[in-house]
Chains A and B, each alone.
Chain A
């Protein structure tokens, strides 16, 4: 158990809908990262937050947004969902903003029908 929790574990929804994925980092970790893993794209970095502020952005679509709250939990919002958004979404956390080990949550499997 990495200490990172993600909810829900599974999510099934329809195209055009909006969903929110939630992540609680390990106790004491200030950085949160979001990744998308689909079969044909590997693990794609989406966005990073550090202590409430956005610090790095990857291949995140405009339909997606995220935030980190004062209690350090983070939410990833996905809107106007398309079939291609079906994937595993992982959250990871690390102690600080530097180059260090990331601890991954168990992921949320999103299926868009």
Chain B
């Protein structure tokens, strides 16, 4: 079963609006990463947040992590049409295997 589950599965917003997507996971983690995938292309790393961090910013991206609730959120502010993509969270397993488990993604569509 998936370690990370994104919510919502799909999101459609107008350009300029903020987009928020959430990720929930099941077991303890060392860190959580967010990736973006444009249709049919490779994933691009956006941000990594460690288990002892609560919030991280990168440009228009803001990621929060709540380890007590086993959840994370990705906020994209002032969205642009170019932000249209699928967004995935990836969580590691703390068993020391160094493998990441990706969620099923949120498909974001930003309308111009």
Residues of A within 8 A of B (CB): 2, 4, 31, 33, 35, 42-45, 48, 55-58, 88, 90, 92, 97-107, 109
Q: Could you pull out 13 A-B pairs where Cβ atoms are within 8 angstroms?
A: A2-B44, A4-B42, A35-B102, A42-B2, A42-B102, A42-B104, A43-B102, A45-B99, A48-B99, A56-B98, A98-B98, A101-B48, A107-B41
Inter-subunit contact A97/B103 (CB<8 Å): no
Nearest chain A residue, comparing its CB with the CB of B102: A43
Cβ–Cβ contact A106 & B42, under 8 A: yes
Residues from chain B with Cβ under 8 Å of A2 in the complex = 42, 44
Contact of B102 among A45, A56, A97, A98 (CB under 8 A): A45
Query: Which residues does chain A contribute within 8 Å of B101, judged by CB atoms?
Result: 45
Taken together as a complex, chains A and B put the C-alpha atoms of A105 and B30 apart, in Å, by 25
Beta-carbon nearest neighbor of B51 in chain A: A99
How many residues belonging to B are interface residues under a CB distance threshold of 8 Å? 23
Kindly state whether residue B88 has any CB partner on chain A within 8 Å: yes
In the complex, per-residue mask of B67-105: 1 if CB is within 8 Å of any chain A CB, else 0? 000000000000000000000100010000111111111
B45 at interface, CB cutoff 8 A: yes
**Candidate in A43, A57, A58, A100 with the most chain B CB atoms within 10 angstroms:** A43
**Is A99 touching B30 in the complex (CB atoms < 8 A)?**
yes
Q: Is the interface of A mostly helix, strand, loop or mixed?
A: strand
Q: Which residues of B contact A57 (CB under 8 A)?
A: 99
Q: Does B41 contact A48, Cβ atoms closer than 8 Å?
A: no
Contact B105 A104 (CB under 8 A): no
Q: Are A90 and B42 in contact (CB under 8 A)?
A: yes
Are A104 and B98 touching (Cβ within 8 A)?
Answer: no
Q: How far is the CA of A99 from the CA of B2 in the complex (A)?
A: 18
B59 within 8 A of A: no
A100 to chain B: closest residue by CB: B48
